[in-house]
Structure 1
Amino acid sequence: MHPRKLLVFSLFFSILFNFPRSPLLLVRSENLSFDFPSLSLRNLTLLGDSYLRNGVIGLTRELTVPSSSSGSVIYNDPIPFYQPESNTTSSFSTRFSFSITNINPASFGDGLTFFLSPDNQTLGSSGGYLGLVNSSRITKNKFVAIEFDTKKDAHFDDPNDNHVGLDIKNLVSMETANPDLDLKSGKLITAWIDYKSGLHRLNVFLSYSSFKPNFPLLSVDIDLSDYLKDYVFVGFSASTEGSTELHLIENWSFHTYGFHPTSGHNVSDSSVIAPPIPDSPNKHHRRIGLALGIVGPAFFCAFLVIFGWVSVRKWRGVRMEKSFKAELMTGPRQFNYRDLKLATRGFHSGRIVGRGAFGTVYKACFQDSDTVFAVKRSKHNNHEGDMEKLLLLGLSCANPDSLARPSMRKVLQILNNKAEVVVVPKLKPSLSFSCGVSLSLEDIVSDAEEEIQTPGPMYEIKLG
């Protein structure tokens, strides 16, 4: 099998064996419960003007002058509302304590809400929109909310400035009720909201104390599964418009129930405690089999990956060795101009690796070879002039008179066309040197290998 195909094959088996066991794919709808005696940012997200101070959430700005403000706080995790395994809709109950205070009683409005929404970005406009609905997208909202309204807004058909209402998709309440307590008194008020999916009934309770009343303030028969889908986000919102009203949430608990357990371990179902069951031999064997079923495919996949990696490295080594041997056997190659032009991308300037006196060297890559070549492109224009310059420079360097020879620095400047060539005398300079023998010009240029005897003294010889 080809090494690359083998590597792909091994990766396919790795994914195949591990795919069913991926924990990210095992999404279950289970009962959920949380209780916050005091609030923190560990599990909550603040939006808009909301803030946290001393374990209490403020939903609108705390100012001494009237202003417009809106804010919301949302529980970070989505809440399962529908269980497809059993085709069951969740029931839920929530309890929270809030207060609505105002340093200027004559400047009140607008109220707060508890909401369930399909997304975790619920932040609406200020004023009568209660921080829940965006004023520019009134018809594009999906939510279920209980409003605690402190201002009569004729635009939303509010009955008065102290009422509780059920809002679905818009702020015109489906049902309203007038509590026998003042929502904006500044006192701590506790609210209970219960929804029973089996009865399709929503109940709202209010009290100044921590004891739940026997009878609900607001009771509505409604099937919330028509408005809420698989998962929802829960939280609070509030707003003001030209007022100093302050909306505070001090504690919060939330519970869902009614889902059937989908596994042997459910963190939400803490009310039922099963006695421990001792391990049996069959259970022990099942554990061993489960361990082997997980570890075995993992080792097999690791073996395939390692084998594929080694095969690829070996294949590359053999290929390089064959290429090297082929080059040694074929010897020098002859290339036509078209191949050289393609290999150097048309003698592109980006392929230049060096420049010389007689041409430019380019990097060349041929399609049928992995070897990188160097191609020298000779300069044909002014070739005779360059040769003449080099000959004159050579004659200058060979001048018998050391004072007339150019320095090495001068030679480099001439070669780099930074200086003019030294003028060579038209007449051949006289050559004079001393030696221990008497030689003629024929002896100097002769190829004879005869040994010349030099018994005499030093003589001076002049040529020319």
Structure 2
Amino acid sequence: MSLLSFTFFLTFFTTVTATQFDFDTLTLTTLKLIGDAHLTKNNTLTLTGHATVPSSAAARAFYSQPVTFRQPGNPSPASFTTFFSFSVTNLNPSSIGGGLAFLISSDDNTLGDPNGALGLAGAGDNFFAVEFDTLMDVGFNDINGNHVGIDENSVVSDKVSDLGTIGIDLKSGDAINAWVEFNGITKVLQVWVSYSNVKPKDPILKTDIDLGRILNEIMYVGFSGSTQGSTEVHTVQWWSFTSTFDSLSPPPPTVTTFMNPTTTTATSAPPPEESDKSTCHSGLCKKGVGAVVAGVVTAAAFVLVLFAGAVLIWVKKLKRVKRFEFVSIGFGSEVIKMPKEFSFKEIKLATKCFSDNRILGHGAFGTVYKGILKESGDIVAVKRCSHSGDQGKSGFLSELSIIGTLRHRNLVPLQGWCHEKGEILLVYEFMINGSLDKALYEARIPLPWCHRRKILLGVASVLAYLHHECENKVIHRDIKTSNIMLDEGFNARLGDFGLARKMEHDKSPDATVAAGTMGYLAPEYVLTGRATEKTDVFSFGAVVLEVACGRRPIEKDVCGVHGVGGISNLVEWVWSLHNEGNLLMVADPRLEGEFEEGEMRKVLLVGLACSHPDSMARPTMRSVVQMLLGEAEVPIVPRTKPSTSYSTSHLLTSLQDSESDFNAVITISTSSSDNSFSGRDMV
């Protein structure tokens, strides 16, 4: 067989025996939607109903192309692995549920039963399903309304596991990740479930199962779901699927097929020559020809090895040059020793060539993409420099040189970096619960007060670390809710260090152009361009008030009540109600009073203290942590917002004494007119 023919053979063989896709390749044309299933504008697959209308409904969504699960001459069915991220939300949690299931079915046209049947039963097809059931139905022998089960041609599960044993609540509304793997050779099926994007060590369900009894030559893969008089909605945010016939599977014993490049038809391979024949042709016997061919092949192989060695040496030398260039433009040797250096090819593959569908947000100097690393399957957030000039590169260099040396539980973990093909890329751990601003303003379910308190304490803790515990003080300069990420446990993770600056503890800051987001910027920073730890404290104060009130620091005042010129300033509004003795009236109405009043009052006073117009009167972040933990008293905050004007001497004194703690409240302030600009970032 020629090398070209062999290459075509591999391509053809892979095409007919393997299937691989993910959400980036799925569109309305590559999905088949049945019943209430639909694809939203943000590429989310919704299975059942409308959130405000209780209904008993069923839906199915399939990959439109059939998947090959059986091969002629191969006794083992295809192995497959699938990963999907889903959530179950319900405007009325007391209403009866339903559930959803990952489904492999022989029928892609018929819709199963609604109610508690998950859209599975009644279709009359062969099917295999992994169900995630939110309804306890005695008729189906359900153990509870929060379990995962294995179904074979029946909604009565063959094997069930209680998700509560691993702390998973299907009805929480949170994103839940699931991995399903089946080995066609060993006939072992495993299911993992987690809030985290990291697959747990142990599966919640593992069983021996002979899917060969169910799987036909071709089947359809997708999802099924149902409701029973409920407002429950099932959404799938991400889905990837791969099937393959394991290389250990025995090949068909008789003929091998390959694709003929000229005729593009499958052709049988020629039978092998008998080894004992020595018939001569043109003075050469076939054995002699074989020896010559072997010699030529050996020589060619030797030359190829030498060439490969030369290429390897050249590549290593090139990498050393690139690393030298990398260090020379701003990185120290400690950066080169950071977690991992990724190749551009790895990241390009992980982000689907930096597809627009993978964009998570935009930071100070770059665009952030969601990526899935092929080697490990880990989900990451990739920050790509979106500025070609020196400013963008210096911002990235600053971010990497700073974040690469920091270690704190409330920082977004850096997985690695890449500097190749003129690109600078930062690879961060993906935060499953997104950014704090989205949790506050876009989530269907309000962020509970207990989560909000924990988040604020986490941000205060990491700022205290940056300001006081690092070898060189780090000023973040861009503290805002869109730069605070939330992990699977709703712990705060501070990200986006593109504007951050290192500073020796005993040095005064240099003047620069003020950078950041209006509404979070301290007044003295806007006036002087000198960022200190107290400018970060001001920004944190704005975040505290935003989290407690559920309102942005600067927003349009449609009623014309709380602001001037159509603009509402959150700090001014909170201080005005504090002056009236109605401080608790600013609490986020979406909380519906579900908070302890003493805690809410303390948090609001901390926010006002941090937002004091005079930097010298603001507390340090160490003091803030102690206040939030109840280890220190919150200082007395004046009822009327202090006012003052900034003089040059006052600003110099403020900068020199910026390390001092909050000992007394000085009635000074500034009057400034803030304009709003909203920025977003996912890292």
TM-score by length of 2: 0.33
Q: Which has the larger helix fraction?
A: 2
Larger radius of gyration: 1
